[in-house]
Chains A and B, each alone.
Chain A
Amino acid sequence: MISIQNYLSDPSVFRVNTRKAHSDHIHYRTIGEAESASSFYMPLDGEWDFIYSDTPDEREKDFHKDSFVSDRVQKIHVPGHVELQGHGQIQYINTMYPWEGKEMLRPPMVPSANPVSQYIRYFDLPDSMKGERIIIRFEGVETAYFLYLNGEFIGYAEDSFTPSEFDITDAVRDKNNRLCVEVYKRSKASWLEDQDFFRFSGIFRPVYLYSIPAAHVDDFWAKTDLERDGSGKLTLSLMLSYKDPAFKGSLVYTLGSIVSRKIAIDSSVTAYRSEEMTIPSVRSYSHEHPYLYDFSIAVYDDEDNLLEYVPYRIGFRHVAIENGAVTLNYKRLMICGVNRHEWSAENGRAITMSDMKRDIEIIKGANCNSVRTCHYPDRVEWYSLCDEAGLYLMSETNMESHGSWHKNSRVEPSWNVPGDDPIWKDLVIDRCVSNFETFKNHASVIFWSLGNESYAGENIRAMNDYFKSVDDTRLVHYEGVSFNPGYKKYISDVESRMYTPPEKVREYLRKDGSKPFLLCEYMHSMGNSLGGFKDYDDIFDEFDGYVGGYIWDYIDQALYKIDEATGMRFLAYGGDFGEKRSDYEFSCNGIVDAERHEKPQMQEVRAVYGNRLR
């Protein structure tokens, strides 16, 4: 028997029966399929059955049973936030926890006002999937959920912005499958997801089923580096799984027409690691010339039938700190960046491919070369778009606990999460693992970020240690350590701060300068703002140790609403939904408005960044 409350409130329980995080590659049945869509995949997006309850007590406790019937069942669109489909309160709040003034809680307590969304989806397996190993993948569910299939408990997951997968091979039927997902708006994870944004819940990113063939590349890392002499290094490591213990076959990996290797595999080969390969005079990857190589892995059975084909685009670049400056490909790197929340005026954070492509156009058009994925991993497609476009990414782990240590405008960490308590350690490390494992193959990712505004202590130190232990080709970033400076020697490769006046930046670089200086947020673009931007740009010319910064932020978080007085649609911001408490207009700090129209300050961004990167 599952104790819902224990799962929700015990920090040591955060994933149950989930598959290990792995690279975001897609496998195809044929090489030709790679041009369109993989036939291994079956999207489950669309209209699902749905029951909404304001509190856990009101939920339908037997909804996962095949015999369940209820007149409370409605329809809901997946993916999407439930609040934007008429269920529950829409709330924008910045640093305060959303239950401020309503419930007095300390971590890891879970509010009693905890809306529950129960989803039901029926599906049949297509012929191509019958008898195969079947995985279900949720790209994003906020904040915690229990999964059932055909009456059976499958698993539990958290970490709203990270894909979770479950192997449902044993529970799935050919026909009439009944998939049930019970989503809780609040969980102990809410203490770590106190980002400055609208607080939503539900299945807000796509859901897929996919099958995996007799032999499958579960994970791979094509680890690259660029030498000073222009040669490239490539080391491939991969993980394989097999349906049949008697499997024999082969695997071929290629890099363009430069590398092509075939290795024999059988079911005992679950991991493979190549030696470090040297590729003479590669074309390097940079924002000016985002050159990517076609890499692929193909798996064959013992009769040389193709079982799966995994294409991927990889780049060769070298990120380092040299003589106090951050360098890319042995030249000084100047970050002309912007923080980007995922946003749509219509659908909140349930954004589409076309939203993402438009964002790439606008951000490139603003002459930015960098994006910080504030403050959570974005939809996986975003990272490939940035690879192709030449936008360096600070890939941020899903964590912010601002309200736990910053209270009444003061640093007040008498209690804070994740802090030093070992009970949170595995949970926050797991978020780093998901970030790293999912995005490790992306050339655009140059920083791993531990999260945002979560103070600093032993657990964040462990997060830093984790990234350092798995990846020596990228830098680790974290700003919150500046409020607990004793940890600076253990946390973050750069001195990262936010909203530091230019003179204070100079003062650090003159007097300390032990780490390169980065502004992970600066030039707060709320309303009519972004005056004095050029003052920061001048610092590039004065100090090599100045890395640059990321404007706060890309897009206004405002939502379409119909004005009752006129029937006109308008852009509503915090407080316009009757929510209390709220931080009102603080939801709108973009260089574009919520409909992606440029705000007037874009002229300044384009000029300052354009001149710097010319």
Chain B
Amino acid sequence: MEIVFGDLSLGVKKGGASYIFAYNLGGIESLEKEGNEYLYRVPSLAFWRATTDNDRGNGFSKRSALWMGADAFSDVEGYEVEIDGTEVPSASLIAPGNNELISSPLRKADSVSIVFHFRTCTAPSASVSVRYSLEEDKDGVKVDYSYKGVPGLPELPVCGLRFILPFKTESFEWDGLSGETYPDRLYGAVRGHYRTEGLPLCPYAMVQEYGMHMHTSELGIKCMNKELCIKAESDDGFSFSLLPASPMALENAYHNIDLPPQRYSYLTIAAAVRGVGGIDSWGSDVGKDAHIDSSGSYSVSFRII
């Protein structure tokens, strides 16, 4: 594969696709295949879900409100690049160091990885790393998301990575569980291959979190001639939701008709998902084993093709 050492970015060209990782923005800014761009913006850290009726009833959203800010803003602290298994110091990657790279053998490589390190905009701060790895003989780009918690923060609504795809999905299909699944609502799910036309609107009277699919091994998203595939790289798969609106937009909507017209697809890949609860009545908390303890560590690995 070909590596492009930019002044603020690392470009990779491999198998008819090209990728741009923006040092200053903390992630993959461009994923282009056959002339189509698949990313609207650099992916962001996902920490918020739109308040469910039960979240409101038991006060979860109030207790965990600071994660809404952390979802909206994140702070990239640094990045590291490895090419063919050897770390390339960031001083060599940015100017003037990259001047030496114009005639470097590193411009042709068999493998490259770039990991971005983040601090959550909370006090105290938890840390997150997102590693993107590309290998000559493997399709697409592998993403390893890892959250490392600290004591002293409230429970997490969700923990993962959110991509905005610059199109309205026509259909998506996945290998995983039927219906909508949360950690405390898995019992009825049946493993299989499922398909949804378009992006589903919120099935609940008042708009709130919806559409989570846990333990997914593969997800395919289609729009016109565009096709994106997400494959699990860990044994128990990944959790995803693919929605027509951001959690903030869902939070601010009372009804589906309050949502913005569908332009983009919001793909959240989660390392941890909170349950939805409702055990004895409105207003009681989600069962303990369906909480996300923010002092824990959570990771998810997947491949985007």
Do A and B belong to a common assembly? yes
Query: Separation in Å of the B187 CB from the closest CB of chain A?
Result: 38
Contact of A104 among B6, B41, B168, B261 (CB under 8 A): B6
Contact of B166 among A563, A566, A578 (CB under 8 A): A578
B95 within 8 Å of A by Cβ? Answer: yes
Contact of B94 among A96, A106, A408, A580 (CB under 8 A): A408
**CA–CA, A408 and B18, complex, Å:** 22
A103 within 8 Å of B by Cβ? Answer: yes
A19 within 8 Å of B by Cβ? Answer: no
A581 contacts B102, C-beta separation under 8 Å: no
B99 contacts A101, C-beta separation under 8 Å: no
Chain A window 410-426, contacts with chain B (Cβ cutoff 8 Å), 1 for yes, 0 for no:
10101100000000000
Given A408-B95, A575-B40, A578-B166, A566 and B7 touching (CB < 8 A)? no
* Count of B interface residues, CB-CB < 8 Å: 34
B4 contacts A104, C-beta separation under 8 Å: yes
Query: Separation in Å of the A453 CB from the closest CB of chain B?
Result: 15
Which chain A residues lie closer than 8 Å to B241 at the CB level?
Answer: none
B47 within 8 Å of A by Cβ? Answer: no
A337 within 8 Å of B by Cβ? Answer: no
Given A100-B6, A101-B6, A104-B6, A407 and B94 touching (CB < 8 A)? yes
Which chain A residues lie closer than 8 Å to B10 at the CB level?
Answer: 101
B94 contacts A101, C-beta separation under 8 Å: no
Which chain B residues lie closer than 8 Å to A410 at the CB level?
Answer: 95
Which chain B residues lie closer than 8 Å to A415 at the CB level?
Answer: 96, 99
A35 within 8 Å of B by Cβ? Answer: no
Stretch at the interface among B24-32, B141-149, B206-214, B230-238: B24-32
B8 contacts A408, C-beta separation under 8 Å: yes
B261 contacts A100, C-beta separation under 8 Å: no
13 additional A-B pairs beyond A96-B6, A101-B30, A408-B8, beta carbons within 8 Å, are: A101-B4, A101-B11, A101-B21, A104-B101, A408-B23, A409-B24, A563-B263, A564-B168, A565-B261, A565-B262, A578-B36, A578-B37, A581-B8
B101 contacts A581, C-beta separation under 8 Å: no
**CA–CA, A407 and B23, complex, Å:** 12
A403 within 8 Å of B by Cβ? Answer: yes
A102 contacts B5, C-beta separation under 8 Å: no
**CA–CA, A102 and B10, complex, Å:** 9
Contact of A580 among B4, B30, B107 (CB under 8 A): B30
Which chain A residues lie closer than 8 Å to B17 at the CB level?
Answer: none
CB-based nearest B residue for A584: B41
B263 contacts A96, C-beta separation under 8 Å: no
CB-based nearest A residue for B90: A408
Which chain A residues lie closer than 8 Å to B21 at the CB level?
Answer: 101
Looking at A100, A101, A415, A565, the one whose CB has the most chain B CB atoms below 10 A away is A101
Which chain A residues lie closer than 8 Å to B32 at the CB level?
Answer: 580
**CA–CA, A566 and B260, complex, Å:** 10
Query: Separation in Å of the A403 CB from the closest CB of chain B?
Result: 7
A581 contacts B23, C-beta separation under 8 Å: no
B22 within 8 Å of A by Cβ? Answer: yes
Which chain A residues lie closer than 8 Å to B101 at the CB level?
Answer: 104
**CA–CA, A566 and B166, complex, Å:** 15
**CA–CA, A396 and B96, complex, Å:** 30
**CA–CA, A403 and B8, complex, Å:** 10
Given A580-B29, A580-B30, A581-B22, A564 and B7 touching (CB < 8 A)? no
A104 contacts B5, C-beta separation under 8 Å: yes
B51 within 8 Å of A by Cβ? Answer: no
Given A414-B99, A581-B22, A565 and B8 touching (CB < 8 A)? no
B134 within 8 Å of A by Cβ? Answer: no
Which chain B residues lie closer than 8 Å to A414 at the CB level?
Answer: 95-96, 99
**CA–CA, A275 and B262, complex, Å:** 72
B95 contacts A412, C-beta separation under 8 Å: yes
Q: List 28 A-B contacts (CB under 8 A).
A: A96-B6, A96-B7, A100-B8, A101-B9, A101-B10, A101-B11, A101-B21, A102-B4, A102-B11, A102-B18, A106-B99, A106-B102, A407-B8, A408-B8, A409-B24, A410-B95, A414-B95, A414-B99, A563-B261, A564-B168, A564-B263, A565-B168, A565-B263, A578-B37, A578-B166, A580-B39, A581-B20, A581-B29
**CA–CA, A455 and B166, complex, Å:** 37
CB-based nearest B residue for A566: B261
CB-based nearest B residue for A414: B96
Chain B window 147-185, contacts with chain A (Cβ cutoff 8 Å), 1 for yes, 0 for no:
000000000000000000010100000000000000000
Chain A window 91-125, contacts with chain B (Cβ cutoff 8 Å), 1 for yes, 0 for no:
00000100011111010000000000000000000
Given A564-B263, A565-B263, A581 and B94 touching (CB < 8 A)? no
**CA–CA, A580 and B30, complex, Å:** 6
Query: Separation in Å of the B30 CB from the closest CB of chain A?
Result: 4
Q: Which residues of B contact A (CB under 8 A)?
A: 4-11, 18, 20-24, 29-30, 32, 36-37, 39-41, 94-96, 99, 101-102, 107, 166, 168, 261-263
Which chain B residues lie closer than 8 Å to A563 at the CB level?
Answer: 261, 263
Chain A window 449-485, contacts with chain B (Cβ cutoff 8 Å), 1 for yes, 0 for no:
0000000000000000000000000000000000000
**CA–CA, A128 and B55, complex, Å:** 83
CB-based nearest A residue for B9: A101
**CA–CA, A412 and B95, complex, Å:** 7
A412 contacts B20, C-beta separation under 8 Å: no
**CA–CA, A403 and B20, complex, Å:** 18
Looking at A102, A103, A580, the one whose CB has the most chain B CB atoms below 10 A away is A580
CB-based nearest B residue for A403: B7
CB-based nearest B residue for A409: B24
**Chain A, range 562-593, C-beta contacts under 8 Å to B:** 563-566, 575, 578-581, 584
Contact of B9 among A100, A412, A565 (CB under 8 A): A100
B30 contacts A581, C-beta separation under 8 Å: yes
Looking at B8, B18, B168, B261, the one whose CB has the most chain A CB atoms below 10 A away is B8
**CA–CA, A80 and B5, complex, Å:** 34
| Closest A-B pairs by Cβ, 8 of them | A414-B96, A580-B30, A565-B261, A101-B9, A101-B20, A101-B11, A407-B95, A407-B7
**CA–CA, A96 and B4, complex, Å:** 14
Query: Separation in Å of the A9 CB from the closest CB of chain B?
Result: 16
CB-based nearest A residue for B37: A578
Chain A window 540-581, contacts with chain B (Cβ cutoff 8 Å), 1 for yes, 0 for no:
000000000000000000000001111000000001001111
Which chain B residues lie closer than 8 Å to A575 at the CB level?
Answer: 40-41
**CA–CA, A409 and B22, complex, Å:** 13
Which chain B residues lie closer than 8 Å to A407 at the CB level?
Answer: 7-8, 94-95
**CA–CA, A410 and B6, complex, Å:** 15
CB-based nearest A residue for B20: A101
Query: Separation in Å of the B238 CB from the closest CB of chain A?
Result: 25
CB-based nearest A residue for B31: A580
Which chain B residues lie closer than 8 Å to A409 at the CB level?
Answer: 24
CB-based nearest B residue for A96: B8
Which chain A residues lie closer than 8 Å to B168 at the CB level?
Answer: 564-565
Which chain B residues lie closer than 8 Å to A579 at the CB level?
Answer: 37
**CA–CA, A105 and B8, complex, Å:** 14
Query: Separation in Å of the B120 CB from the closest CB of chain A?
Result: 23
**CA–CA, A104 and B102, complex, Å:** 7
**CA–CA, A565 and B29, complex, Å:** 24
Which chain A residues lie closer than 8 Å to B23 at the CB level?
Answer: 408
Which chain A residues lie closer than 8 Å to B102 at the CB level?
Answer: 104, 106
Which chain A residues lie closer than 8 Å to B94 at the CB level?
Answer: 407-408
**CA–CA, A578 and B94, complex, Å:** 26
**Chain A, range 398-442, C-beta contacts under 8 Å to B:** 403, 407-410, 412, 414-415
Chain A window 472-501, contacts with chain B (Cβ cutoff 8 Å), 1 for yes, 0 for no:
000000000000000000000000000000
